[in-house]
Amino acid sequence: MNAASDPNADYLSEGMTDGLINSLSQLPNLTVKSERSVSRYKGRDIDPQLVGRELGVRAVLVGELVQHGDSLSINVELVDARDDNHIWGDQYTRKLADIAGLQETISKDIAERVRPKLSGEQKAHLETPRTRNAEAYELYLRGRFHSNKRTEEGLKKSIEYFQQALQKNPNYALAYAGLAETYNMLGFYQFVPPREAGPKAKQAALKALELDTLLPEAHASLGLVKAGYEWDWAGGEEEFKEALRLNPSYDAVYRWYGNALDPLGRAEEAVAAAKRAEELDPTLINSAAVGTELCRARRYDEAVDQLRKTEEMDANYFPTYRWLAMAYLGKSMPEQALQEAQKAAALSNSSTEAMADLAISYAASSKTKEATSVLRSLEAASRSRYVSSFEISAIFVSLNETNKAFELLQKAYDEHNYNLPTLKVDARFDNLHSDPRFGDLLRRIRLPQ
């Protein structure tokens, strides 16, 4: 959408795209692909019919954004992907200071073409600006741009922008929802201590819902907090379902929901949820999520097949190799697991999760010295940054140091580690199942034993 290919305007084009998708996704009986799904077409001269076939959609919205100083020019065209016929198009020229209402205007105009019989409530929802403060909106777009990178640096940078947006408009619900999701991701990816991330995510999500009860992003983030941090399984499921009621095309919620179903022993539902996310949005992260859920369901051959397809999409996405390593360990193929774990560690810039899996794969290959070396490096790193106790405990399990493993699991419990609930479905901990301390831990996390 950034026609001038100006990297300084990427946050505007990607933010506008994301905003339009979120608004239109909330219309009834309308499935809209996510920003991640369409980002591969950025900067390309696209063929709407080809895009329609690749994404499985009936219509394609093509847009170009050009910034001239303090002015924006946006050209949009809605094309029938079946026959390449023009459905509708328009040009919008606004001052940058008017950008806050521009997205709502375009959303309303598109909605009237694809869903001409909108109710009064639906039209009002589309026409109501989330903020009238242009500076706040621009800062929010910058926050989303950095948050979507899902790196530690990007997530922390996004918090700065969301907070700046709230300084401009203290009642900006979307900015609070952005904060909530970002704090959740910092905890979920184990970049910061859970007790730092979880409470901040909950506070931001509740504030967003206080300002806008119909905000699916806020319900989704509250669901993540309740299930992943507070271990309130019924409360988390309720929030995920509400987010999907408000936005049935919200693929990330299906992915998060599936992750919350795993600990409850609902493996088939978790796989189905991940597959639904992939159907809605066949992107890299959703493809890998299906492989993850198949692996947790101990369907290892299917997991390998799925993850090999994910690898074809992007050979540099390290989670693919993490879960391939786990699948090969499940298939009692330690040498193949080690090869995949080494790829993951190299591509991840030595993330805690990838390094833990590398140590476990070394141990499974009878390379205890190498496994211990990785363990010591993570223990040393923990003296200067947060390192997940949950991942360290998995290494101790592989080294048959059971007491030390439970000591670290207790620490993960005290921290309310976001990944601790996967304990029962994580094959790395299978050797602990017969220990009475394992059942006691499940009970305290409020999980079935």
**Geometric angle at alpha carbon 167, from 163 and 173, rounded to 5°:** 70
| Residue 419 tokens, joined | 């990944």
Distance CA 229, CA 413 (A): 10
Give the chain's domains with CATH numbers: 7-129 (3.40.50.11830)
> What is the rounded distance in angstroms from the CA atom of residue 274 to the CA atom of residue 222?
19
**Tens of each residue's pLDDT in the chain, 449 residues:** 444 445 556 777 777 787 777 777 777 777 788 776 777 777 777 788 888 888 888 888 888 888 877 788 888 888 888 888 888 888 888 877 777 677 778 877 777 776 655 555 555 555 555 677 888 988 998 999 898 888 899 999 999 999 999 999 999 999 999 999 999 999 999 999 999 999 999 999 999 999 999 999 999 999 999 999 999 999 999 999 999 999 888 999 999 999 999 999 999 999 999 999 999 888 899 999 999 999 999 999 999 999 999 999 999 999 999 999 999 999 999 999 999 999 999 999 889 999 999 999 999 999 999 999 999 999 999 999 999 999 999 999 999 999 999 999 999 999 999 999 999 999 999 999 999 999 999 999 999 87
The answer to whether the Cα torsion of 345, 349, 350, 353 is positive or negative is: negative
Largest CA distance in the chain: 68
Classify 91 as helix, strand or coil. Answer: strand
For 20, the token pair is 């339009």
71-80 β-sheet, strand order: 59-68, 71-80, 86-95
Question: What is the phi/psi pair of residue 333, to 5°?
Answer: -125, 70
Between the CA of residue 399 and those of 123, 360, 431, what are the distances in Å?
A: 60, 8, 11
Judge contact between 271 and 293, C-beta under 8 A: yes
Cα–Cα distance for residue pair 342/357, rounded to 1 Å: 9
pLDDT value for 55 = 82
Start-to-end CA span in the chain (Å): 51
pTM: 0.81
Alpha helices in 26-98 (DSSP H): 35-38, 48-55
